[in-house]
Amino acid sequence: MSQWWATPMLLSGGLFAGGVVSIAWERVPAWQTTTISDFRMGFAHTLRRVDRLQPALLSICLVSTIGCAVTAAGAARSLAALAAAALLLLLVGSVAWLVPIQRTLKSGTQLPAAAVDGLRARWRRGHLIRTVAAVAQFTLAVVATIV
């Protein structure tokens, strides 16, 4: 496995996984106890900060993980390929499931409280799945570099 691919894979993968974990650990519980209007404001504020960084980290990690899979051999190649597949699923799942919810919650349109609560619950569930998948993917990437 090439060091030139492994280094950006581990750096961007660690930062990406750390980012989704920090949101799941700190922001999600705080949003559960806020009013609907405070939740929507806080959610939009957080998204403005992470919506640029997280997709960039995910993209860098995906490209460098594919590079690792191509340049590695044996078990390292298989693990890096699995990690790349996990990243691709994370990307597709985020775009298909979470981004539409995020856009709706960020929009200024008035929604009934029950609708916002439903969207909040769906986003939370999706984000927690994304968090577990990101940590698992990062674990695969780390193991791929040490086998």
Tell me the pTM.
0.92
Tens digit of pLDDT for each residue in 9-67? 999 999 999 999 999 999 999 998 999 999 999 999 999 989 889 999 999 999 999 99
Q: What is the 3-state secondary structure (H, E, C) of 40-63?
A: HHHHHHHHHHHHHHHHHHHHHHHH
Other beta carbons less than 10 A from residue 55's beta carbon: 15
Is a pLDDT exceeding 80 seen at residue 1?
Answer: no
Up-side HSE of residue 72: CA atoms within 13 Å toward CB?
26
Read off the pLDDT of each residue in 72-82 and give the average, rounded to a whole number: 96
144 near 79, Cβ under 8 Å? Answer: yes
- The distance from CA 7 to its chain's CA centroid, rounded to whole angstroms, is 19
What's the CA gap between 138 and 80, in Å, rounded? 10
Q: Kindly give, in sequence order, each residue whose CB lies less than 8 Å from that of residue 59, ignoring residues fewer than 6 positions away.
A: 91
Q: Domain residue spans in the chain?
A: 3-146
